A and B are shown apart, each in its own frame.
Chain A
Amino acid sequence: MDSLPPQEAQEVAWIKRAQRGEREAFGFLVERYQRRVFSLIFRMTRRTDEVEDMAQEVFLKVFGAIRSYDFRSPFGAWLSRVVVNHCLDYLRKERASRVTYYWQLGEENLRQVEAHSSNPEASGGDPERQAALRDLVGKLMARAPEGDRIVLTLREVEGLSVDEIAEIMNLKQGTVKVRLHRARKRMLEDFRRWQQGR
């Protein structure tokens, strides 16, 4: 522990205290990681109204399970794994009660994206078109299988490396690459189907 940078050493101390049931030490960990948890939850679920409740549930779960953390992986990765699993459960439940059709994408957005499709390079800085595109891809993400959504979010939206994703999802790097490739391919196919189906 002496060789660790001060910030990490302090984090290890907080974790050990939290493992003994000290809520105050856990509070420091919450302060340090709350933004990351909020960001992951929001990117994966895209439900602004539920992010805070979900973050609370995640931290309650983390406090209940913190004794099982064995310091083998970074605490951030372990915490992210809890977040990802929580979001997967949420998305599965949500999927069971949700149907999205292309016509629900919104006429104005469709018009904007159509204009963008004809000349994508010209619309790089147009905020309206960017918003339309974001909305469209966001909805395509919402339609994607949960596994695709998680892996695409972590890589393309959160910008994590394949190593980090492997750590979080408890998978081999090769498996992450394969999943990522399939997810991208499916997303592109879905996008093209949407274009052809209009």
Chain B
Amino acid sequence: MWLWAALAVAVAVLAVLGAGLRRDPRRLPSPLVGRPTPAFSLPLLNGGVLRSEALRGRVVVVNFWASWCYPACYDEAPHLQRLWDRYGERGVVVVGINIQDTEAGARAFVRRFGQTFPVGRDRTGSIAIDFGVVGVPETYLIDRQGRIVFKHAGAVTEDLLAARIEALLAQGR
């Protein structure tokens, strides 16, 4: 009798702990998901300024990063470049926004990973504030209507974004 009771309690506790594995206590859904992207103008590292209006009608990946953000930003950097290589021709834009960093650090990072997509520095941190960035790296996916459809905190992978990008590209047609 006591054994069955103990077994029932043990199994219930294990099940609850197991269910807990599928949740992320830090996941706080961004209130911006479903909302229009905050307007920004980003001075690019290799000259020129990227304005958010110029991105209208395109699927955009906005990635906030810093060269000291170790190892997550280093992990995801090649994935972002691969996404740009893979989807750039189909009108997808990857934008890197460097925050809380030095100019030299940002340039060295871009050189190391051979990044060719537009990267700029948010010197005042105002873009990050408008997006509600909590930490680096954070990545936002924007649809053709300029709405934020997805937010990810932590390193992204090519696979994670590719499926969503495909869906957005298919939708737009």
Q: Do A and B bind each other?
A: no
